[in-house]
Amino acid sequence: MILTLLMPTAGSIEIFGKDLHRNRSAALSRVCGIVEKPDFYLYLSAYKNLEILGSMTRKVQREEIMGAIEVVGLKARAFEKVKTFSHGMKQRLGLAQALLTRPEMIILDEPTTGLDPQGMKEVRELIKKLSNEHEMTVFLSSHLLSEVELVATRMAVINHGEIIAQGSVYELLKSEPTDYSIQASPHHLAIEMIRDFPWVKVLSTESGKIEVRVEPDRSSELIRTLVTHGVEVFSFYPHRTLEDFFLKITEGTSEI
């Protein structure tokens, strides 16, 4: 609906303060997007696809097109027909076409669907690059919560069409007690010390690891205490995931 592919039956949408229905052209000239997978004209080259799609937003020069293709690492294939491209390459070309229009906001809907782990990583890095180097706001819609956690700075959880949580990813996750894995030596001493903390709950002590639950704010205090009492801490990492958070806040509901 934000990209006008679906017509709203009620309500209105504003982009950068402009009513999408009344000022469609002005509103969309500052936005670009990829809905699920970017499908291009397979019988045209990557360059020609970008020229056509980019020129629909503004006048684009050859150098700009080549620049956008270079950013996504497809310069060597710029003049080859898109039908020879892999899914991952099309996804990167999708980001190039988004980049070319110089939008202030890019809307990405499930951008890593169907990609292999390497492709997913590349797309994630490109998204971060667009945000950090090109100062674009990336509006990412995804069911892959690990992806959201790796890429997003702010998030909103929509359940049954309503936002039930929103804020910075860090703050939202910090608000909940988190499980940690600790590897420390001597093992028995570490366990004894940890058990003495009333604000730490020991979950398990098997396989040389100590699993604990602690408020995120007090995790540094736990590490410091262990170290100052002669315990060597080899690793201390959280099991906290966005998925856990998500499942917790949507508990009892099935449709997202």
Partner 1 sequence: MKLFWFETYKTFSRWRTYIGFGVIALIVILTEVVMKLSATEILDRMMRSMQKDFLIFGNVLNGWFITAFIMNSFHIHIPFFIALVAGDMVSSEATSGTVRLLLIRPPSRGKIITAKYLAALFYTTGVVIFLGLLCVLLGLALFGGGDLIMNYERQFRIVFIPEAEIPIRMFLAFAAAIWSMAVVASIAFLFSTLAENSIGPIIGTMAVVVIFFVIGNFPFDFFRALNPYLFTTYMNIWQRFLDEPIPWREIARSGTILGLHSLVLFLISFVVYRRKDIKS
Kindly list the residues in this chain that would bind partner 1 in the complex (CB under 8 A). Answer: 3-7, 24-26, 28-29, 31-44, 48, 52-53, 55-57, 94, 97
Least distance in angstroms from the C-beta of 208 to partner 1:
51
**Shortest spacing between CB 232 and partner 1, in angstroms:** 55
Shortest CB 57 distance to partner 1, Å? 6
Give least dist CB 33 to partner 1, A. Answer: 6
Q: How far is the CB of 211 from partner 1 (least distance, A)?
A: 45
Residue 123 or 173 with smaller CB distance to partner 1: 123
**Angle at 251 (CA atoms; ends 248, 252), nearest 5 degrees:** 175
State the pairing for strand pair 105-109/137-141.
Answer: parallel
Compare residues 18 and 213 and give the one whose CB is closer to partner 1. Answer: 18
Residue 94 or 111: the one with the smaller Cβ distance to partner 1 is 94
End-to-end CA distance of the chain: 17
Work out the number of other CB atoms within 10 angstroms of the CB of residue 175. 13
Identify which of residues 44 and 193 has a Cβ nearer to partner 1 in the complex.
Answer: 44
DSSP output for 131-198: HHTS--EEEEE-S-HHHHHHH-SEEEEEETTEEEEEEEHHHHHHTS-EEEEEEEESHHHHHHHHHH-T
Q: Report the side by side order of strands in the sheet with 232-238.
A: 201-204, 210-214, 178-185, 232-238
CB of 97: closest distance to partner 1 in angstroms?
A: 7
Diameter of the chain measured on Cα atoms: 69
Neighbours of 170 (CB within 10 A): 12
Strand partners, 140: 108
Q: Which amino acid is at 87?
A: H
Q: How far is the CB of 144 from partner 1 (least distance, A)?
A: 20
Q: Which is nearer to partner 1, 38 or 111 (CB)?
A: 38
The Cα–Cα gap between 142 and 159 comes to 13
Nearer to partner 1, 139 or 197 (CB): 139
Number of alpha carbons in the 13 Å side-chain half-sphere of residue 173: 21
Residue nearer to partner 1 on the CB measure, 57 or 178: 57
